[in-house]
Amino acid sequence: MTQAVTLPAVGFIGLGIMGGAMAARIAAGGYPLHVYNRTRSKADALVAAGAHWHDTPAALAKQADIVISIVGMPDDVRALYEGEFGLIANAREGAVLIDMTTSSPALASELCAFAAARGIAMLDAPVSGGDVGAREGRLSIMVGGEAEALERATPVLRCLGANIVHLGGAGAGQHAKLCNQIVIAATMLGVCEGLAYAQRAGLDAPTVLGAIGGGAAGGFLLNNLGPKIARADYAPGFFVEHFLKDMRIASEEVAAMGGDLPALELARRLYRELADAGHARSGTQALFSLYDAAVPRNAEAGQ
């Protein structure tokens, strides 16, 4: 008779646009799920489906073999993990802590060392793929930390995506995610400028997207966010304010290396302007609204 396999209990903290979908996929994978979120109502659907609610991160940490967090800002990460009531101080012996927030590489290294001093394994594992990737389990996961800890956590991470890449020691996952955000920053400028040009030329945006989306210009941003731009749908899959945070961290890292990335700095300036115009909680595709205002449609073009 085959003995049933007991799956590790998984704690999940941060049930926003990304985290809520990610936690649901872990629960669908059969893992006992423990959840915490600052806004309790965001956990209601998961709890109704069988997840265990905890009133504090410390209480959750005492019940989970693997704890995953995806929160907003580096200060949120520090507050969550450090201190008497933090995850590290309250984690179970042998637990693996995984922060999937896009955060500072230096902070990731600091927290990993703090955890190691208590005999706790910690990984930094930010993700890319947006809300669609989170819902469909197609996230790319960039991991920094010890290989042994990643091996233990990999079956759970496979609920979230198949592309799980170990980049190196603590902080390496965060560095890789900053590479990702730098590429996105420049690419978003190109997507918006191409569609602004199409608008000025009097072309039909969906038709243009169909024409260029299958060629060299095609890619995740053009093919997934381009249609949203065409219908002025700026609902968030990823908040502008969080993208600004990511670009700020990337800019600081580049400066510390003695480098300069002009496209990144231009994107930061434009997204700051966008946030100041009231779009901090809009999706990153709302950048087009700046171009839309500056480049009005030419109704006569293309006639």
93-118, pLDDT tens digit by residue? 999 999 999 999 999 999 999 999 99
Q: What is the pLDDT of residue 292?
A: 86
Owner of token pair 């890789």: 176
The last residue of one of the domains, among 129, 152, 169, is 169
- Give a yes or no: residue 300 inside a domain: no
- Give a yes or no: residue 303 inside a domain: no
* CATH number of residue 162's parent domain: 3.40.50.720
Rounded to two decimals, what is the model's pTM?
Answer: 0.92
Question: CA 171 to CA 132: how far, in whole Å?
Answer: 26
177 is catalytic: yes
> How many structural domains are present in the chain?
2
Contact in structure between 90 and 84 (CB atoms under 8 Å): no
Residues 161 and 182 grouped into a single domain: no
Residues 115 and 185 grouped into a single domain: no
- Give a yes or no: residue 299 inside a domain: no
The last residue of one of the domains, among 131, 150, 169, is 169
Question: CA 189 to CA 251: how far, in whole Å?
Answer: 17
- Give a yes or no: residue 2 inside a domain: no
Q: What is the pLDDT of residue 300?
A: 47
Q: What is the pLDDT of residue 293?
A: 78
* CATH number of residue 228's parent domain: 1.10.1040.10
Residue 231's alpha-carbon distances to 86, 195, 246, 285, in angstroms, are 44, 12, 27, 11
Structure tokens at 215: 């060629």
**H/E element, 20:** helix 17-28
Q: What is the pLDDT of residue 5?
A: 72
Q: Smallest Cα–Cα separation from 196: which of 237, 238, 229, 233?
A: 229
For 33-100, give the secondary structure using H, E and C.
Answer: EEEECCCHHHHHHHHHCCCEECCCHHHHHCCCCEEEECCCCHHHHHHHHCCCCCHHHHCCCCCEEEEC
Contact in structure between 229 and 195 (CB atoms under 8 Å): yes
Residues 15 and 164 grouped into a single domain: yes
Residues 151 and 290 grouped into a single domain: no
Residues 52 and 143 grouped into a single domain: yes
DSSP string, 198-252: HHHTT--HHHHHHHHTTSTT-SHIIIIIHHHHHTT----SSBHHHHHHHHHHHHH
Q: What is the pLDDT of residue 2?
A: 54
Active-site hit among 42, 62, 177, 228: 177
Residues 36 and 154 grouped into a single domain: yes
- Give a yes or no: residue 154 inside a domain: yes
Beta carbons within 10 angstroms of residue 99's beta carbon: 30
- Give a yes or no: residue 247 inside a domain: yes
Residues 120 and 229 grouped into a single domain: no
The last residue of one of the domains, among 115, 146, 169, is 169
Angle at the Cα of 189 from the Cα atoms of 237 and 234, rounded to 5 degrees: 30
Structural domain span for residue 128: 10-169
pLDDT digits (tens, 9 = 90+) for 35-73: 999 999 999 999 999 999 999 999 999 999 999 999 999
Q: What is the pLDDT of residue 272?
A: 98
Q: What is the pLDDT of residue 142?
A: 98
Residues 130 and 193 grouped into a single domain: no
Q: Please compute Rg for the chain using Cα positions.
A: 21
Question: CA 4 to CA 154: how far, in whole Å?
Answer: 20
- Give a yes or no: residue 267 inside a domain: yes
Residues 143 and 214 grouped into a single domain: no
Q: What is the pLDDT of residue 294?
A: 73
CA 283 to chain centre: 13
- pLDDT below 50 — which residues of the chain? 299-303
Residues 155 and 180 grouped into a single domain: no
Question: CA 184 to CA 222: how far, in whole Å?
Answer: 11
